[in-house]
A and B are shown apart, each in its own frame.
Chain A
Amino acid sequence: MNALREAVLPPAPVRREEALRYAMQPRAYDGGPIPALEDCVRMAEGKVPCRAVWRLFPVIRKGDGLDLGFAVTGSRKLQTHLAGCDRIVLFALTAGMEMERLILRAKALSPLHGLMMNAVGAAIAEEACDRLCGRLAAAFPEDTLRDRFSPGYGDLPLSLQKDIFTALSCEKRLGLTLTGSLLMQPGKSVTAIVGLSPRKEDHREPLP
């Protein structure tokens, strides 16, 4: 049941507002186009496909914790979030080294370009995650997909990254590495758990 699957998310238009949020501009900017953002969008748009691997696991409540099929966790927030789910999709997604290069390139132009390209990279990875989840929803039409939940959210420890890397062969399949601080490199990468609930649900648990 739980084959390792790969997905390539081809480049998509950059969501400028989302990028601006990542650049710490929390609400609409009314001064017209920001030249540095436009430069970065021009440099990155259409250039950065994202790659992902994912795998389906059964999830079993085990005493105080959750057996996720690839690791056991005592995270309360995740338990609440996955209430009613009998399986999860575990995925890792990255905008890869190409995005890192674009960020370096932008930093060579100006600090503002560096900030903007970093934000564009985050927006690209997030958008690709949304598309991947859309594909997952189509692949599991009988189920309801919960919002994605990543190590570091709430009380789900970052140390789970090590188990995720093993379960998904992230090093080999995506070229990801983990630093001593458990940060992923290349930096514009996401790992997440998506709960599958075998019922139609309208209401979703909000993220912590």
Chain B
Amino acid sequence: MSRFREFLQNNLVILDGGMGTLLQTRGLKPGEAPERWGLGHRDVIRAIHKAYFDAGSHVVMANTFGANPVRYDGTTLETMVLTAVSDAQAARDESDAPQEKFVALDLGPTGQLLKPFGPLDFEDAVSAFAQVVRLGVRAGVDCAVIETMNDSQETRAALLAVKENSDLPVLVCNAYGSDAKLMSGASPEVMTAILEGLGADAIGVNCSYGPETMAPVVERYLACASVPVICKPNAGLPSVADGKTVYDVDAVSFAASMRTLCEKGVRVLGGCCGTTPEYIRALVRAAADLAPQSLQPKRRTVIASRSRALVLGDRPVMIGERINPTGKKRFQKALAEGDMGYILAEGIAQEERGAEALDVNVGAPGIDEAAMLPRVTDELQAVTDLPLQLDSTSPAALEAALRLYNGKAMINSVNGSEASMDAVFPLMKKYGGVAVGLTLDERGIPSTAEERLAIAERIIGRAAEYGIGPESLVFDPLTMTVSADGRAARVTLDALHLIRERTGCRTVLGVSNVSFGLPAREVIGSAFLTMALERGLSAAIMNPKSDAMRGAFLSFLALNGMDEHCARYIAHAASLPAMQPAAAAGAPASPAQTASGKGLRYAVLKGLCAEASRTASSELDAGRDPLALVQEEIIPALNEVGEGFEVKTLFLPQLMMSAEAAEAAFREIKARAAADPAMQRCPIVLATVKGDVHDIGKNIVRLILENYGYRVTDLGRDVPPEAVLDAVVRLHAPICGLSALMTTTVPAMEETIALIHREAPWCRVMVGGAVLTEAYAAQIGADAYARDAMAAVRCAEALEAGT
């Protein structure tokens, strides 16, 4: 074990204090980078480090906070890190202070937001930090400190980089806002779940505010963390007096507040902005008679999204099962086409129906799970707050998704077979997570409760060999179909109870399977759910969109005093269809709802989706020719709206509402006609160019083009030139539309146009986006420029006529 890791286990650890604020008193200009300034002022840096060691710091952080390859080229970075570490080491050697002394590599934020909210790719962030870590190792640091991170995903990237490129002990500090959350939404409980899962040696807070203000956040860490907790706050808030920055908490009160936190259990203490060697000296003195509080393993079974920690405890939780293509044609089609919108909407719908976590399964014939599971995971985690349960039999898919998952996932699943445990446990050890343990093994599913318990116990034993505690396992005693075996449900429930009693582990069941092959599945399914909950089920994987299943679940909570004021039950009841007609009848009808009977053309003109869909359907039922419906109703309406938009009597929202209404009508028509009678125009490939994530305009263009009969393949945003070309070639598309919002991404657009013109000379490229003009578009080689969505239609029509 490294000397520092051992020291951390047995001692209070004193870190250093502020660096940047001290440098400003020695000539560093506001906005100037300390790590660059330090290269020219090595004596100053060394003197500050030495002053901290002299004051009693065990750990001094090298001047590498902002040193990373996102900001500096390789040579500069190398010099910077090696110099900074050697200066800290020299200071250590020069200091006569008697305490143990260590030098840390300091890792701060890259200064760029990660995708999907910024330009930085997760793996690029990992490799950026990895470069710095390898330099730190070469320079001989004793540990790494990741600090002032306000995004959980960037924190993860840094921590993974340390773990994958060194065996350095690593301390992780995050910067919290006054709402006790990171900027990215994570709470102390979320960060604890994530960071302990990834194997951080100590976790906590730095920067932000003074110690008193940070105390509530620190106490939440102490309540849920099993590793040592760090507190490294500012000397309060800064102000400028006589041209000098001053902070409002002095050394003595700083030390007194820190002592209180230490008594509550904080084991790693230091200071951030505004603190000086004087503060550290006062802190050392104040804590001199304190011994470290012993570490208590918390044994919480917890999963987390980037913003929400979910404890699997006494109150059962509802896990949505709907993101799963098994038996769902529409879902399989969405997967095959990479139609993320459909999958995301399914996730959002379950969240709105009360799901507390989402199972994510993308296993279907012809789907590369190792590519698809991380993609869906990444897209889903951007739009939902719910923790995810990654559901796959492919270890490669699980690893790829776990790596990207900005949280602590539930892993579905491991089982008692050696092969499964050998594959899944190393992933859990590396990325964290709570695994669903299926009580089956190489020999299949045992027929008795006792045998299923025995498998659970074997899984617990093997997990322990990997250092994974039983709190990270949740057992699934396997729901079998009761229509095939009358005893099946009984055995499952007995096994559930037995495992709960004997191992103390939490349990999970996919409940829907019980009713397979029976009529009125929800009737028997909801009864089974209630029975399982009564026997101690911790998590039900179920369909939150089923009123009966949701009703059984929420009734159980209300009847067990687990739903305060029956609030969730009441909200559920209000959404039941039985409650709807009365409410609807009582509500005053808006103009939009009184349009019935005015025909499809009117519905499309006014942008009434439900009306358009209903009218189209009844017209078709009455024998109206689908083609006539398109040509006599929908197209004229769309043309009228489009013209109105062009002369500015109608505006963008109205144009889009009409487009959506037309789309709803088209869906009805397509659902009935064997052949698609809508006018079929040429394929168009659409994309927002590489580096650009602004796609609202592009999405609008897609909707309108589809309305006009173009077969649009939308590649999404941040699309590399090669991917655009691939699609153009594959579809032999005569038209490609590109969008860019930022000046910095116009070169990527130019590059994409050149590539298409060279490799797919049949294809004409039209472009649009906020920074473009007609002239600019011509200058970068585009064949046409479209100012807005209607202009894009006109443009496509002209290009189509020309080819």
Contact = CB atoms under 8 A, between A and B. Distances in A.
Interface of A: 1-4, 6, 8, 20, 23-26, 29-37, 49, 51, 96-98, 100-101, 103-105, 107-112, 114-116, 118, 162-163, 166-167, 171-172, 174-175, 177, 179-181, 183, 185-186
B706 to A, nearest CB: 10
A51 B117 CA distance: 18
Interface residues of B, number: 59
A115 B660 CA distance: 13
B464 to A, nearest CB: 38
B606 A171 contact: no
Contacts of A115: 652-653, 656, 696, 699-700
Interface string B99-137: 000000000010111001111000000000000000000
A116 B696 CA distance: 10
Given A111-B702, A177-B113, 8 more contacts: A25-B654, A101-B382, A103-B696, A108-B345, A112-B656, A112-B703, A114-B699, A171-B109
B395 to A, nearest CB: 29
B590 A33 contact: yes
Chain B interface, DSSP helix/strand/loop, else mixed: mixed
B108 to A, nearest CB: 10
A30 to B, nearest CB: 8
Contact of A4 (B239, B590, B609): B239
A29 B657 CA distance: 12
Given A25-B651, A104-B116, A175-B183, A8 B592 contact: no
B382 A104 contact: yes
Nearest to B663: A110
A162 to B, nearest CB: 7
Nearest to A27: B651
Contacts of B148: 172
Contact of A2 (B240, B606, B742): B240
A125 to B, nearest CB: 15
Given A111-B703, A172-B207, A3 B652 contact: no
Contacts of A105: 344, 348, 382-384
B240 A183 contact: no
Interface in B663-709: 695-696, 699-700, 702-703
B656 A179 contact: no
A192 to B, nearest CB: 20
Nearest to A114: B696
B586 interface: no
B238 interface: yes
Contacts of B241: 1
A33 B182 CA distance: 36
A52 to B, nearest CB: 11
B175 interface: yes
Contacts of A36: 653, 657
A112 B656 CA distance: 6
Interface in B128-153: 148, 150-151
B239 A2 contact: yes
A181 B742 contact: yes
Interface string B639-668: 000000000000111101100100000000
Contacts of B699: 107, 111, 114-115
A6 B239 CA distance: 12
B577 interface: no
A4 B379 CA distance: 37
B660 A181 contact: no
Contacts of A172: 148, 150, 175, 207
A167 B31 CA distance: 8
A101 B383 contact: yes
Given A23-B653, A174-B183, A3 B238 contact: yes
Contacts of B384: 105
A75 B430 CA distance: 55
Interface in B734-759: 742-744
Given A31-B606, A98-B185, A185 B656 contact: no
B238 A4 contact: yes
Contact of A185 (B118, B238, B239, B590): B118
Contacts of A171: 109, 111
Chain B CB within 10 A, most for which of A108, A179, A181, A183: A108
Given A108-B345, A112-B660, A35 B609 contact: yes
Chain A CB within 10 A, most for which of B119, B183, B340: B183
A51 B652 CA distance: 31
B341 interface: yes
20 contacts: A4-B238, A4-B239, A8-B178, A8-B179, A23-B653, A31-B591, A35-B592, A35-B609, A107-B695, A108-B341, A108-B345, A108-B379, A111-B656, A112-B656, A114-B696, A115-B652, A171-B111, A174-B183, A175-B183, A179-B118
Contacts of A175: 150-151, 182-184
Contact of B117 (A23, A33, A49, A185): A185
Contact of B237 (A3, A162, A179): A3
A63 to B, nearest CB: 22
Chain B CB within 10 A, most for which of A6, A96, A111, A175: A111
A1 to B, nearest CB: 7
A128 to B, nearest CB: 15
B135 to A, nearest CB: 23
Contact of B651 (A26, A35, A49, A112): A26
B607 interface: yes
B405 to A, nearest CB: 16
Contacts of B654: 25, 29, 31
Interface in B693-736: 695-696, 699-700, 702-703
B184 A97 contact: yes
Contacts of A167: 30
A171 B150 CA distance: 9
Contacts of A177: 111-113, 118
Given A162-B31, A172-B207, A111 B696 contact: yes
Closest 8 CB pairs of A and B: A175-B183, A3-B239, A108-B344, A111-B699, A166-B31, A32-B590, A105-B383, A24-B652
